[in-house]
Structure 1
């Protein structure tokens, strides 16, 4: 996929779009897409979603829906995803779009106060993986089933991952394992679908609620100290910085589909 396709007629779906990186992706990408494009935003926080919508171009067709992905059953999720995507398409023919983009950004850091020995609550594990691993997998399948092989629409799948998906960090067991599982899912997906452009993008340390939670609640003193020192020394990125870099990564397209690309990697 060439970045120029983003300036055409695009169907753009973003999860976790009510704040932080997800909101910034919506703002930045909405300036790139062309006339007739559709934007669909998903997140838990309906108020935050509406605030994001208000920041986007008024000439775009923008839909949004709130859902708690951590408590819905798999069948409920599949039906919900089908309904909201079909509704957003409306009378439009998916084949009329030049590019379909899905950006899996929704997620949570989990309880960062516990060591792995203390992570024994199976219900907590299930809810965490429902939100961070299973929901993106189901949404990805539903989205691409609707854009089946009968259409010539190019497809771009972006998974917002983390350094924690490939590097262990003490008391971040939920987050590290969830990111690792999700990233591997999209690597397998890329291997199975070589015609689809897949990117696992690691945005670097970004000033978000997630980072602030680690700074405040990390159970390991070394981890807590290192994150706080990084913030104190202005070593944290803004959402705009990392999303602008994501666009540059897409422009350069030097990565192999499915690869993990970090903010600090050379283009």
Structure 2
């Protein structure tokens, strides 16, 4: 470990735990923490058709009050149908709206029309809490930076992973700040890659680091909004399957395989339960990066 900094593959073998100077996490553990009630909530989850996004929808449905509304956004309508069934099973009194949409190409008008469904569907119960989970994202080509020569792919990557996030944030915040007496939470699904470089994951690391900083700025600009960058840990999901098969760096690819072989991957619902507890207890400074292993 040179200069106190862990190398990516070694970090993976240590269950993604890194020194706090790389985590930028400030969990505020104290006695007598005041819990934030969920109540009737308006919720938007991107990338909601599978994996962590579907688990977020299911988990949120289990804690919010009857009359709450969850909007799930994803490209796969079939996947959203499955998520809707999960939400209904968790809480039949929560309304789930599925929006089949490609966030990379979605227009401002399409995003606004999606958000407008919250007051339309939830008009019978005014919200006490509004939450936006930015879960949608992509890995990009997992090759060394010297081999990233496809300009269209690079531009496409940042349109989805950065551009759509900025626009959806702005529209969501503008709408929710007009709601009387509501608490507002904006959650960015982050990654260890936001704070530590992984060879052949240049696009993904850059996208996650950029998003973390965007949300730190948002926390400074909007003190009324609670902002969280949550790194969910190494999940047992489709992304990890891709990591094990497509990662360009051989050593890093082997480290991902070891996580699977050693049973160290985290079920999505387990990570979501940790996330929901963090949000309930609000034991973080707005804008912070909080890792699964720190909570």
**TM over 0.5, shorter chain:** yes
Match of 2:198, SS state, is coil
The separation in 2 between residues aligned to 1:118 and 1:153, in whole angstroms, is 48
- Kept in 2: contact 1:190–1:197 (CA 8 A): yes
Report the counterpart of residue 117 of structure 1 in structure 2.
146
Q: How does 1:83-232 map to 2 (within 5 A)?
A: 83-90=113-120, 92=122, 96-112=126-142, 114-149=143-178, 151-232=180-261
Matched, 1:64 2:98: yes
C-alpha distance in 2 between matches for 1:173 and 1:245: 28
Rounded Cα–Cα distance in structure 1 between residues aligned with 2:186 and 2:125: 17
- Asked whether the equivalents of residues 37 and 60 of structure 1 are also in contact (C-alpha less than 8 Å), the reply is yes
The counterpart of 2:59, out of the listed 13, 25, 28, is 28
State the number of aligned residues. Answer: 260
Contact kept? 1:110, 1:175, Cα under 8 Å: yes
Contact 1:70–1:127 (8 Å) recurs in 2: yes
1:20–1:14 Cα change, 3 Å: same
Deviation at 1:159, TM superposition (A): 0.5
**How many angstroms does 1:151 deviate by?**
2.3
Structure 1: runs of 5 or more not aligned: none
- Check conservation: 1:94, 1:147, Cα contact below 8 A: no
- State the partner residue of 2:288: 259
Q: Work out whether residues 108 and 132 of structure 1, in 8 Å CA contact, stay in contact via their aligned partners in 2.
A: yes
Cα pair distance change 1:110/1:94, threshold 3 Å? farther
- Classify 1:92/1:17 alpha carbon distance in 2 versus 1 (closer, same or farther; 3 Å): closer
Q: Partner of 1:32: helix, strand, or coil?
A: coil
Cα distance change of structure 1 residues 13 and 2 upon mapping to structure 2, 3 Å threshold? farther
Counterparts of 2:173 and 2:129, CA distance in 1: 12
CA gap 1:187/1:44 in 2 versus in 1, 3 angstroms: same
Residues in 2 aligned to 1:100 and 1:166: alpha-carbon distance in whole angstroms: 28
Change (3 A) 1:94 1:187: farther
Q: Deviations over 1:19-70 (max 9, x none)?
A: 0000001001101000111111101111101110011132212111011122
Distance 1:116 1:92 in 2: 46
TM-score scaled by length of structure 1? 0.93
Which whole-Å CA distance do the structure 1 matches of 2:125 and 2:215 have between them?
A: 24
Q: What residue ranges of structure 2 are gaps of 5+ in the alignment?
A: 1-32
For 1:18 and 1:93, how far apart are their aligned partners in 2?
A: 25
